[in-house]
Structure 1
Amino acid sequence: MMSLLSVSPRLLAKAVTETDGPYVFIDPSSQATAYWICNNQLKTTLVINQQLKQPQHCGQLPQPKLSTVIKQRMPDTYTGVKKVVALSDVHGQFDVLLTLLKQHQIIDAEGNWSFSDGHMVMTGDIFDRGHQVNEVLWFMYKLDQQARETGGMVHLLMGNHEQMVLSGDLRYVHQRYDISTTLINRRYDKLYGIDSEIGQWLRSKNTIIKINDVLYMHGGISNEWITRKLTLAKANTLYRQHIDTPKAELKANDLLNFLFFGNGPTWYRGYFDDAFTEAQLDPILNYFNVNHIVIGHTSQKQVRGLFNNKVIAIDSSIKNGQSGELLLIENKTLTRGLYNGQQKQL
């Protein structure tokens, strides 16, 4: 089954030729349908036995095997994990991401998982700014499946840009996706709606997790969290329940306003304030019984330790599309993974 629709002359006049997709939508009453943009034309295919297969002459787009397993809600706390790799704020820079992961043997030359029983943590902000967001999402979707097959795990945490896009705040979406939204006739946020494969997968994920003695989230944890006596389980449940709640309703609720905005874990930047002290940080670490907090959100030139490495900032400006770093943790040793494959102890 295949339909074909051309881009409007007005949009074509200002656009380059684009190939994009797939966008997979789930209809409980029928087979799932995949939408593909092939040289500025819309094509659709049915998903057969959970396998995607792109139309002919449609470039090198992802053709993943769909999975219900990776859409199950997973725990937010893990112990006994031997090794962890963490990175953040990819913002659609697919090529930089691949290079960085290959240089440190997280994936092999073909882009498949090779980190055995290790855990990978992506602390948010795959969406917005860059031009290969969909490629990154399907790549992480594939790794999520492959990691589990070898006893590992991929943790895709919600960042503020995931929350923005899924709630319809589209200020930072790359213009490349104008063609996809026009042809598919859906707003960009609806390409990842609750009826989409990627949208369902994203909505199953946690926003904050704890692995061994390290807490991971996008922005940071303020002392207000302690005052509110929040738990990871409660917060992660509220994030999942309200990711599609209109902004006005979130703002009107005191707790949800905290979690989704301002001093909440996806927006907080307080650790980089000159007035913030280690004495303010220690009660937060004690509350969660951790030695480190790993965060993205606030751009750095490299992976950087603050307060004697109690806070580790891993937004290494991948969003610029030039280079980036990742954090490796093994046997409590903290290591910067550089873009050229070198490793330096933090």
Structure 2
Amino acid sequence: MAPSPLPTLLSALVTLPLLYLLSTFSPSSNPYSIPLESPFPLDLPILSTHKIVAVGDLHGSLAVTKRVLRMAGVIGGERDGWVLGRGTLVQTGDIVDRGTDTIALYKYFEELRNDAESQGGKFHSLLGNHEYMNAMGDWRYVTDKDIATWGGREQRREALTPEGWLGKTWLTNYSLTARVPLHDPREISLLEAQAVPAQPPSSDFSHAAISFLHAGLPPSTPSSSLLPYPSKLNDLAHSLLLQSLLAASPPHPPNAFPGVPSTCTQQERDLWGGEGVLWYRGWALDQDEERVCEQAREMMSKVGVRRMVMGHTPNFEGIVTRCNATILLIDTGISPAYGGPLSALSITTTLHSLPAVHVPHELRRKRRDGPERWLERETVRTLRVERDEKEEKGERGREVVVGFEERVVGG
């Protein structure tokens, strides 16, 4: 499906307490910087900043993966180590299948995870439907060259057990979904400890987070399987994964595919169905924009996030945005198996002290001297290079701002 056009966002008063949406963004007007129509000075003092980078389906190519992460400013140097500092990286699953670098990718990601943690960064690794397919014995998309890198089918099968190195890695360091805060909680806590004037109450940030998932949260998901989010879904998914690995089903083909283990509960089995969170494509394929946006608003309110980011359904024209960039579909088929454009998503959120003179009249209150509010700026960017372009040193790709919001918070 072709990317949906992003409508111009309209400035609006948000009904959440003490939170006011001051300016929004139309990407066609100024796609490379903070919008010029912002009512606030661009040089306001920065109190904190947090950058999130997300990358979609990889499907077995280490070289492409590293190029995308370098382009996005996540890795660098001779050893391609972590350079994102205290930022956050999210990879939305489907690392396995279609390619030949399964071992190399998973081992590199464990090195990168340790590197990130040593610098105060965070690396969220998610599981896709292809990880679960392999855990259940569905090897239809495993290449012969990939099997050879393991030393044979039996060695690969042994790795996919609870005690095998890959099975253990999945169980320990991977999850089904993640709710990632837009602000680094450590920096917010530090500001509060320093008694920065008029720091906003925690309620102002209750939905200041992004949901990440491989496929999607179906609107029909019952609350009993969804909440509290994300722990409920992750607990169900962990159990499904463990039982699939314990079953150690012989690979299909040539053996019959056994499907979900019989020991699983109905809630666990529902994760796998066509309308389950491991396969759902409605956010990408449903053409009724009004219905999709309404469903998205309801789901985001329920799980406490501002945006939902997903992979799974590839679009070879680039990252797709829907519903004012609250739905972001980041699978662009970057694996050589597909040949799509190399892309990543970047979300940067900054907090600024806001002098009283810049606070809208309807939000002003008589207070002591000093900042009366904080200004939150959230910028969503897509990054992209074409596959046939030769990689240049320091490559950053073409950047397009697809979403921008400013909010006055606190008081």
Does residue 179 in structure 1 map to residue 148 in structure 2?
A: yes
Does residue 309 (structure 1) correspond to residue 325 (structure 2)? The answer is yes
Please tell me whether residue 258 in structure 1 is matched to residue 270 in structure 2. yes
Partner of 1:294: 309
Deviations along 1:141-169, whole A, 9 cap, x unmatched?
11100000010011110100011112211
Picking from 108, 131, 156, the partner of 1:139 is 108
Give distance in 1, aligned partners of 2:214 and 2:104: 21
Q: Is the 8 A contact 1:86 1:326 kept in 2?
A: yes
2:147·2:153 contact (CA, 8 Å) conserved in 1? Answer: no
Task: Identify which range, 187-196 or 229-238, moves more after superposition.
Answer: 187-196
Following TM superposition, by how much is the alpha carbon of 1:252 offset from its aligned partner in structure 2, in angstroms? 6.8
- Residues in 1 aligned to 2:344 and 2:102: alpha-carbon distance in whole angstroms: 19
Q: Which residue of 2 aligns with 1:342?
A: 398
The residue number in structure 2 matching 1:270 is 282
User: Residue 393 of structure 2 aligns with which residue?
Assistant: none
Does the 8 A contact of 1:86 with 1:121 survive in 2? Answer: yes
- State how many pairs are aligned: 266
Deviation at 1:125, TM superposition (A): 0.3
The 5 Å alignment of 1:83-98 reads 83-98=51-66
Paired residue secondary structure (2:89): strand
SS in 1 for 2:175: coil
Distance 1:244 1:303, change over 3 A: same
Structure 1 counterpart of 2:333, which letter? S
Q: Contact (CA 8 Å) 1:251, 1:257: kept in 2 or not?
A: no
Change (3 A) 1:215 1:250: farther
Aligned residue for 1:242? 240
The letter for the 2-side match of 1:284 is: M
Aligned to 1:161, what secondary structure does the other structure show? helix
> 1:103 offset after TM fit, Å?
2.1
Report matched runs for 1:103-122 at 5 Å.
103-110=71-78, 111-122=80-91
CA contact (8 A) 2:319 2:329 kept: yes
Matched residue SS, 2:271: helix
CA distance in 2, matches of 1:149, 1:202: 21
For the structure 1 residues 229 and 139, does the alpha-carbon distance in structure 2 shift closer, same or farther, using more than 3 Å as the test? closer
Aligned residue identity for 1:217: L
* Of 306-315 and 194-203, the range deviating more from structure 2: 194-203
Paired residue type of 1:326: A
Which residue of 329, 347, 364 maps to 1:329? 347
Cα deviation digits, residues 64-99 of structure 1 (max 9, x gap):
xxxxxxxxxxxxxxxx98110001100012111111
Please give the per-residue CA displacement for 1:46-68, whole angstroms capped at 9, x wherever unaligned: xxxxxxxxxxxxxxxxxxxxxxx
Alignment partners' CA distance in 1, 2:264 and 2:240 = 13
What residue identity is the alignment partner of 2:216? G
Unpaired runs of 5+ residues, structure 2, are 1-47, 182-208, 245-258, 350-377, 386-395, 403-411
**1:179-202 deviation per Cα after TM superposition (whole angstroms, max 9, x unaligned):** 345x45616343232222332121
1:292, CA displacement in angstroms? 0.4
Shift of 1:254: 2.3
Q: Is the 8 A contact 1:250 1:260 kept in 2?
A: no
CA contact (8 A) 2:159 2:165 kept: no
Please report how far the alpha carbon of residue 178 of structure 1 lies from its aligned counterpart in structure 2 after TM superposition.
3.4
Structure (1 or 2) with the larger CA radius of gyration: 2
1:205-252: per-residue Cα shift (whole Å, max 9, x none)? 221111122100000111222454522212211211221435343697
Using the alignment, how far apart are the partners of 1:277 and 1:196 within structure 2? Answer: 41
Partners of 2:112 and 2:260 lie apart in 1 by: 36
Q: TM-score, normalised by structure 2?
A: 0.61
Q: Secondary structure at the match of 2:144?
A: coil
TM (norm. structure 1) is 0.72
| CA distance in 1: counterparts of 2:88 and 2:133, whole angstroms | 26
Structure 2 residue corresponding to 1:197, chosen from 147, 150, 165: 165
Matches of 1:104 and 1:255 in 2, distance apart?
37
Give distance in 1, aligned partners of 2:240 and 2:140. Answer: 21
In structure 2, relative to structure 1, the CA distance for the partners of 1:281 and 1:152 (3 Å cut) is: same
Could you tell me whether the CA contact under 8 Å between 1:85 and 1:328 is conserved in 2? yes
Query: With CA pairs under 8 Å and 6+ residues apart, which has the higher RCO, 1 or 2?
Result: 2
SS at match of 1:186: helix
> Is the counterpart of residue 224 in structure 1 residue 240 in structure 2?
no
In the TM superposition, residue 327 of structure 1 has moved relative to its aligned partner by 0.3
Matches within 5 A, 1:25-64: none
1:113 touches 1:147 (CA, 8 Å); kept in 2? yes
